[in-house]
Amino acid sequence: MPSDLWTFALRLYAEPGVEQACLRLQDGGADVCLLLTACWLGQRGTPFDITRLDALYEVCDPWQEQVIKPLRSLRQNWRAQAQDDLALAGMREQIKALELEAERKLLARLESTAVCWATGEMEQIGAWLSGCCPGREGVDRDALEQLRVAALTL
């Protein structure tokens, strides 16, 4: 099991079906960085606690709103135009790289917040994932289960 969150997230995201599950959950309003963190914490056996989840949201929400979402929006808005404009296509790829780096920085911040939390013998992935999507209307339960199962294989 990878010990740092970034390595864990890369390995989990590369598992079959995980990228698609994450994108489906993101389309439903979930935060992928938070979901990956939930899997990491759950696999480590960190007991789920709403206060801990709130602490993660306090780190995550501002960074998502002020950094990641604007980059993602710009990249997505240029998708059609970049098909016919090589210069714009190159700039779009640079923005994509910036977006990925912003996600890496967010995962580092989330890890820094959570790394000192106690770990245990029993995996808690399901509890953490459910905590990240409480009461969400129409949350894709199959995608959450796919994430949970993939995290267990790492």
Expressed in angstroms, the distance from the first to the final Cα of the chain is 6
What pLDDT, on a 0 to 100 scale, did the predictor assign at position 134? 67
pLDDT > 50? residue 1: no
Q: What would the mean pLDDT of 71-81 be, rounded to a whole number?
A: 96
pLDDT > 90? residue 29: no
Q: Which amino acid would we find at residue 140?
A: D
What pLDDT, on a 0 to 100 scale, did the predictor assign at position 87? 96
pLDDT in tens, 97-125: 999 999 999 999 999 999 999 998 888 99
pTM of the model: 0.92
Contacts of 111 (CB under 8 A, 6+ apart): 4, 5, 6, 37, 40
What pLDDT, on a 0 to 100 scale, did the predictor assign at position 133? 85
pLDDT in tens, 30-40: 999 999 999 99
pLDDT in tens, 120-136: 888 899 999 999 986 66
> Packing angle between helix 32-44 and helix 141-153, nearest 10 degrees?
50
pLDDT-based confidence at residue 91 (cuts at 50, 70, 90): very high
